[in-house]
Structure 1
């Protein structure tokens, strides 16, 4: 029996995750990480998405995506399918790379977005891979803090959500992610 299509929305904001099949690595070499990020960029542009933040881990990914039309499923199918084919070709493998479909949680409030952005930033710290989130090379956290990053990363859009309550949105983002980490016993 076919799966029901997921609900998608005009101007939807989503925390998207995808995990390797059997929780195995989906990135082996630096070229894999770079290839996936390049695909995220292309799919973001093709689908007119806004990618607000991301974090790639060895066996899963986190993306914070804002869509303008209900096309998340189409874009994720293209992203995951293209990457899986490329990975299998480069590593002489066959079969599934990802464990089922991606997961997408719709973000419905600024508070939920703040927590999600902080959660994504803190992932490599929680996993014990780095001591500070900005040191993880496969996350947008450092790029958000120091205004670098690929052109498809919409840092300004992310910071708009942190500007709604006044004050410097970058400071608010940095302070909130640090407070989140402190609550979890981490340091960013």
Structure 2
């Protein structure tokens, strides 16, 4: 069975997981973890992404990030290639160090974003490495507790918790200590039903209608049909767009296909699913 193609769109937030080849250890030394963090910092200086959280474990790492000036696939290729070269050179070895491609889970909103942040910060505790989240050195938990804006973009999430920074950190600390039973690296999308449907469209039906026919079936007038095809932003046409998007997703069209047919972006298509 072929791999499911990744869905990427501008402004998306992802929970990224990269494991070592055959789950072998890829961070045996302090220098290894520092190299990856320095590589992330180097890419951050180029304003290519926002980093909301990370944890470096022995045989894998987690990132929560939002790309801004680069595609996720290119960013991960640059980071992993650089680390792979460093790792092989430092061990005088050759070959792959990562277990195939990374996994990237799209995150719909701040509710799921906070939950994933807690989940990755609790990784060392659940692995039996330490007893408390704050006892682990190689995660972004310390950035949040110590109010360190730099590699990690802590201000965005802390400001959501409170306008008062001391109160926000207190709320963060209490939240991250709560029990989290979810396994967020075992699913494909983090969001509500409409978001999941938009990110993971159903398989193509051999008898599906073409997109223009789906659009016509919303009972648009001929004039309004032409306006939508030219990318009209008229508010009175939104309800037709919503009906069109929902039916097109059910028939297995991708976000890109649906959006291009009426002159809107994949992000705009997702927003229509939430109406």
TM-score of Structure 1 vs Structure 2, range by shorter chain: 0.7 to 0.9
Give the equivalent residue in structure 2 for 1:176. 175
Determine the C-alpha separation between the residues in 2 that align with 1:177 and 1:34.
Answer: 24
Following superposition, the deviation at residue 161 of structure 1 comes to 4.1
Gaps of 5+ in 1: none
| Paired residues of 1:124 and 1:130 also in contact (CA < 8 A) | yes
Give the equivalent residue in structure 2 for 1:112. 112
Instruction: Say whether residues 1:140 and 2:165 are aligned partners.
Output: no
Moved more, 153-162 or 128-137: 153-162
Give the equivalent residue in structure 2 for 1:25. 25
Give the equivalent residue in structure 2 for 1:96. 96
| Paired residues of 1:12 and 1:70 also in contact (CA < 8 A) | no
Instruction: Number of aligned residue pairs: give it.
Output: 179
Of the two, which has the highest radius of gyration?
2
Gaps of 5+ in 2: 183-275
When residues 65 and 136 of structure 1 are mapped into structure 2, their CA distance, relative to the original with a 3 A threshold, is same
Determine the C-alpha separation between the residues in 2 that align with 1:18 and 1:161.
Answer: 28
Give me the TM-score of the superposition, normalised by structure 2.
0.60
Determine the C-alpha separation between the residues in 1 that align with 2:67 and 2:177.
Answer: 28
Determine the C-alpha separation between the residues in 2 that align with 1:96 and 1:75.
Answer: 18
| Paired residues of 1:47 and 1:75 also in contact (CA < 8 A) | no
Determine the C-alpha separation between the residues in 2 that align with 1:77 and 1:162.
Answer: 33
| Paired residues of 1:125 and 1:132 also in contact (CA < 8 A) | yes
Give me the TM-score of the superposition, normalised by structure 1.
0.86
Using CA pairs under 8 Å that are at least 6 residues apart, name the structure with larger relative contact order, 1 or 2: 1
Determine the C-alpha separation between the residues in 2 that align with 1:147 and 1:141.
Answer: 10
Determine the C-alpha separation between the residues in 1 that align with 2:65 and 2:106.
Answer: 10
